[in-house]
Amino acid sequence: MNVDAMIEDLRTLVEIESPSGDIEALTASAEAVKTLVEARLGGTAVLVESAAGPHVRWSGGGEPRVLVLGHHDTVFPIGTLARRPFAVTGGRVTGPGVFDMLGGLVQAIHGLAALDDTSGVEILVTADEETGSHESRSLIEERARACGAVLVFEGAADGGGLKIGRKGCGTFEVVVTGRASHAGLEPAAGINALIEAAHQVLAIAALDRPEAGTSVTPTVASAGTASNVVPASATVVVDVRVETTEEKERVEAGFAALTPRLRGAAITVRGGIHRPPMPESAAAGLFAVARRLLPGVAGVAVGGGSDGNLTAAIGVPTLDGLGAVGGGAHADHEYLLVESMAERAELAAGLVKAIQGH
C-alpha cells in the first residue's frame, strides 16, 4: 500500500469542508469522493441527490455481495479548517474529519484498489450520517439487503479494535406548554412551564437503567422570556442509548406515558430512538474472518451509533469500526495514526476477498 498516496487523498477530502446540512459544501465534497473513487477504482460513481445533500454510489459490477459503507459529512462548521488545518506530524494526521470518517473512506478505497477483482462490491458514501441518516436510511437498507454483507468504515475503537456491537440511540424533545402571566402582579394566573419541565426532567431521569445498559440523559433545557414573566413554554432535550430492543420499547413507552403535573399544562413529545441496537450476533461471522486476517484484533461493543445499526437491525451481517485508527471524534484533538493506514487497507481487501469467496 502506498501510504503517501493515501495521505494525499485524505488531504484532498479534508480540505473540502463538509458540514452536515450545508448542501453546497456537501455537493463539493461528494464530487471529490466521486473523483477519488473513479481515479482509484475505475468505472463510474453516481451522485444520488437527496434533501440532505448528495450520496455517492459505485459498483464493481456483477452480483452484489458486499456493501462498503461510509459517510462524507462531518460535524465541523465551515471555517474549522482555517483554525485546524490538515497536517501530518509525528506519525499523526490531524484536521477536521480525519478520524470520523474520511480516513476510513480513503483506506477502504485503497484496499479495494489492491484487489484484482472488485466484482460484487458496492460503495455507498452518504451525506447525512452525522444528523441521523434520515434521508439515506432507505437507500442504505435497500443496498444492504441486496448485498448481504456490510463493512462499515467508521473509526476504530480505542486501540484499533473493531466495533462488533453498538447501542441503539436517539433524541427526544419534550415540549411543555403553560400560560404566561406577570410574575409579580398575578403569578397564580399563569401556568409555570418551567416548574412543569422540572417535574418532567425527574420523571425522564427515572427511565435510566444503567444495569441494563440504558442511559436516559436530559442534556439541554430552555424556558422563559423575561425575569418577571411566568414561563409559558419550556423544552427539554434528552439523549437515549439502549442495548436491546426490549429497552428501546420500554423507554419509548415511558416517554409516551409522560403526563403533566400542573393543572392546565400540556406536554408534547417528539423524536425517538432512530438507530436500533446493533447486536453482537450481527458481526460474529465477519469478525471471525477479521480475526484470521488480523490476529489479536479486539472486538468492542460501543455506545455510539452509526449506519451499521441500521443494517444490522434488518438482519444483514455487519462489521463496524474498520476505518481509521486514532481518536478524538468530533473534537479538536481528532487524529489518525499513519502507522495503521496500510494495515487497515489490507484488512479491508482481505475481508472483501473472503466475502467474494476468493
Q: Is the pLDDT of residue 307 over 90?
A: yes
pLDDT band at 184 (very low <50, low <70, confident <90, very high): very high
Residues 129, 268: one domain? no
| Average pLDDT over every residue of 252-268 | 98
CATH of the domain at 87: 3.40.630.10
Q: Sheet of 318-319: strands edge to edge?
A: 46-48, 55-59, 121-126, 66-71, 150-152, 318-319
Q: Is the pLDDT of residue 150 over 80?
A: yes
- Concatenating the DSSP letter of every residue in 151-164 gives EE-PPPPGGG-EEE
Residues 114, 132: one domain? yes
**Taking the model in full, what pTM does it have?**
0.90
Residues 163, 289: one domain? yes
| Average pLDDT over every residue of 250-271 | 98
| Average pLDDT over every residue of 252-256 | 98
Backbone angles phi, psi at 322, to 5 degrees: -85, 0
Handedness of CA 307, 309, 310, 314 (dihedral sign): positive
| Average pLDDT over every residue of 237-252 | 96
pLDDT of residue 135: 97
Q: Is the pLDDT of residue 166 over 80?
A: yes
Residues 90, 179: one domain? no
- Concatenating the DSSP letter of every residue in 184-222 gives TT-GGGSB-HHHHHHHHHHHHHTT-BGGGTBEEEEEEEE
| Average pLDDT over every residue of 265-273 | 97
Residues 123, 187: one domain? no
Domain final position from 275, 296, 316: 275
pLDDT of residue 240: 97
CATH of the domain at 191: 3.30.70.360
Range of the domain at 184: 168-275
249 is catalytic: no
Place of cell 397564580: 188
| Average pLDDT over every residue of 290-318 | 96
pLDDT of residue 357: 87
Q: Is the pLDDT of residue 358 over 90?
A: no
Residues 81, 120: one domain? yes
User: Which value, in Å, is the radius of gyration of the alpha carbons in the chain?
Assistant: 23
Q: Which of 9, 17, 73, 196 is catalytic?
A: 73
pLDDT of residue 9: 98
Q: Report pLDDT digits (tens) over 202-226.
A: 999 999 999 999 999 999 999 999 9
Q: Which of 129, 130, 154, 320 is catalytic?
A: 129
Residues 153, 302: one domain? yes
pLDDT band at 264 (very low <50, low <70, confident <90, very high): very high
Average pLDDT, the chain: 97
Residues 121, 251: one domain? no
| Average pLDDT over every residue of 73-90 | 97
Domain final position from 275, 300, 321: 275
Domain final position from 275, 295, 327: 275
Residues 118, 156: one domain? yes
Residues 199, 262: one domain? yes
129 is catalytic: yes
Task: Count structural domains, the chain.
Answer: 2
CB 121 within 8 A of CB 112: yes
Q: Is the pLDDT of residue 76 over 80?
A: yes
CA separation for the pair 21, 131 (Å, rounded)? 8
Report which secondary-structure segment, H or E, holds 67: strand 66-71
